[in-house]
Amino acid sequence: MSTAPSIDLSVIPESQRAAVLAVLRERDALRETNRRLEHLIAELNQAVHGKRSEKLNDDARQLAFEDLETAVAEAETRQDAEAAPRTPPRRAARRNRGHLPESLPRVERVIEPDSLLCPCGCGEMHRIGEDRTERLDIVPAQLRVIVTVRPKYACRRCAEGVTQAPAPAHLIEGGLPTEGALAHVLVSKYADHLPLYRQSQILARAGIELHRSTLADWVGTAAFHLGPVVDRLTEHLKTSSKLFMDETTAPVLDPGRGRTKTGYLWALARDDRSWGGGDPPGVVFTYAPDRAGENAERILQGFDGILQLDGYTGYNRLTRPSRTGGAPITVAHCWAHARRKLKEIFDRDGSEIAAEGLRRIAELYRIEAEIRGMDPGQRLSARQARTAPLVAAFGEWLQAQCRRVSMKSRLGEKLTYIHRHWDGLQTFLRDGRVEIDSNNVENLIRPIALSRKNALFAGHDEGGRSWARIASLIATAKINDIEPFAYLKATLEAVAAGHPQARIDDLLPWNFKPSS
């Protein structure tokens, strides 16, 4: 874009030309800023509302929003800087400034005037008040060395022996890390998705040479000691009468072939918050080298309630009388998956049949939005009175479309999927505790996808099991509003100190009590 002035400067008095040029430069800068913002907004609109093949995934969409917000902030800051000489009062920031918790330490810096003497010579002035402002300061992670000193004492008059305090228990006896250091490595890898080799590089910048293999040893040791806590968490979840289940890929290195193979993390979750259930939410991930339905059967041994899941055929064995590990399970299938099937067809060719199915499903979700948070009885009454007739009408419409549409077409395949799971799609009409979809567990496995993308793969099947174990505790802590680092540090310290097995429930994430 040309920044040449659009007016003839020769007709402007020389004394005013500098001011006019400044205004023109400001105009050109604003034009460039607007052009940049328009470009970002156009790209974001395309990503959100464009063709399916051109849309961004959730992570990329967040990056697009970040770029847009950054550009807006830069433009506003530039405007403030250029307007400062003409408008001394600073405008208040229009963006959210965030909340500073009372638990954060405060460092007060008192700024006194250069002189407290009254200008008129009356003497020293008296303090009548103050202005206080708070800003967030961030100190980079501090590395420190804990030096444990155990003095030895002996009697000068006799030789009865030496007295010395016993050495404190450590999770890794004779090793470098404190339990806090172990917790930091675990959270960085499994909550912040920072692979161990990158953590090693960060520590090296601070002068700490710790090879990735050393950090891996730490992770493996911590995962082993946390195993009983995860096992108890699993037992606790399986006492529930309703759970969610889903699975996601976990690439694992196959040393024999020198490449990766596809393992799976199976998620078993409880989340009763939408109807005020008394049990705390939780999730357990279990690693398996494949997606065979036997894995779900093994994980669910001892559970006989309602299971909310998608339409993967591997779950079919759970409903059979021959099911291993318990009675046949009642399944509740996911309307979000049914909707997704129709949305794929609508996005592809604008099918009117798919559009009608989407409209009907939207009516079900509108009712669900209105009754969210009500107790199970109220939810069930509302569903029987308002939702059941809509579902029955959807079933009649579905039957009619299945007769009209070729089952070999893409639309026919999607309609067949919905028809095949029709019984499970009606389970939520018979129990107010059941959700209309399995989105709760899908939200819980998203961090696994981030770790998978950043770490590329687990180095071994055992690495997949460690991944599952630590991810279980971190995810459960997060959905219970527990800070994962504080929880893991305290739990590892308790394990190192010999926490009794009989009180292992005290170590479950929802029982953690942060220290003041």
Give residue-wise pLDDT tens across range 127-168. Answer: 888 888 887 777 777 888 989 898 988 888 787 788 888 888
Note the pTM of the prediction, 2 decimals.
0.77
Does residue 219 lie in a domain region? no
Name the 3-class secondary structure at 84. Answer: coil
Does residue 282 lie in a domain region? no
Higher pLDDT, 87 or 140: 140
Name the 3-class secondary structure at 282. Answer: strand
pLDDT in tens, 215-248: 888 888 898 899 999 999 999 999 999 999 998 8
Answer yes or no: are the C-beta atoms of 445 and 451 closer than 8 Å: no
Express as a percent the part of the chain with pLDDT over 90: 41
Mean pLDDT within 297-324: 90
Q: Which residues contact 399 (CB under 8 A, 6 or more apart)?
A: 419
pLDDT in tens, 341-376: 999 999 988 999 999 999 999 999 999 999 999 999
Higher pLDDT, 318 or 138: 318
Q: What is the pLDDT of residue 419?
A: 95
CB 312: neighbour CB atoms within 10 A? Answer: 14
Name the 3-class secondary structure at 397. Answer: helix
CB 210: neighbour CB atoms within 10 A? Answer: 17
Does residue 359 lie in a domain region? yes
Q: What is the pLDDT of residue 516?
A: 58
Does residue 70 lie in a domain region? no
Answer yes or no: are the C-beta atoms of 289 and 254 closer than 8 Å: no
Both tokens of 30, joined, read: 């604003």
User: Which stretch of DSSP H or E encloses residue 370?
Assistant: helix 352-371
Higher pLDDT, 50 or 100: 100
Q: Which residues contact 436 (CB under 8 A, 6 or more apart)?
A: 335, 336, 364, 365, 368, 428
Both tokens of 199, joined, read: 């953590």
Q: Which domain holds residue 361?
A: 335-437
Angle at 206 between CA 202 and CA 207, to 5 degrees: 115
Both tokens of 400, joined, read: 């009619």
Does residue 375 lie in a domain region? yes
Both tokens of 47, joined, read: 């990503």
pLDDT in tens, 415-468: 999 999 999 999 999 999 999 999 888 888 776 666 555 544 444 556 778 888
Higher pLDDT, 17 or 449: 17
Please say if the pLDDT value at position 93 is more than 50.
no
Number of domain units in the chain: 1
Does residue 155 lie in a domain region? no
Does residue 9 lie in a domain region? no
Both tokens of 271, joined, read: 């989340």
* pLDDT band (50, 70, 90) for residue 74: low
**Local structure of residue 425 (DSSP, 8 states):** H
Does residue 415 lie in a domain region? yes
Name the one residue in this structure whose structure tokens are 């299945």: 402
* pLDDT band (50, 70, 90) for residue 94: very low
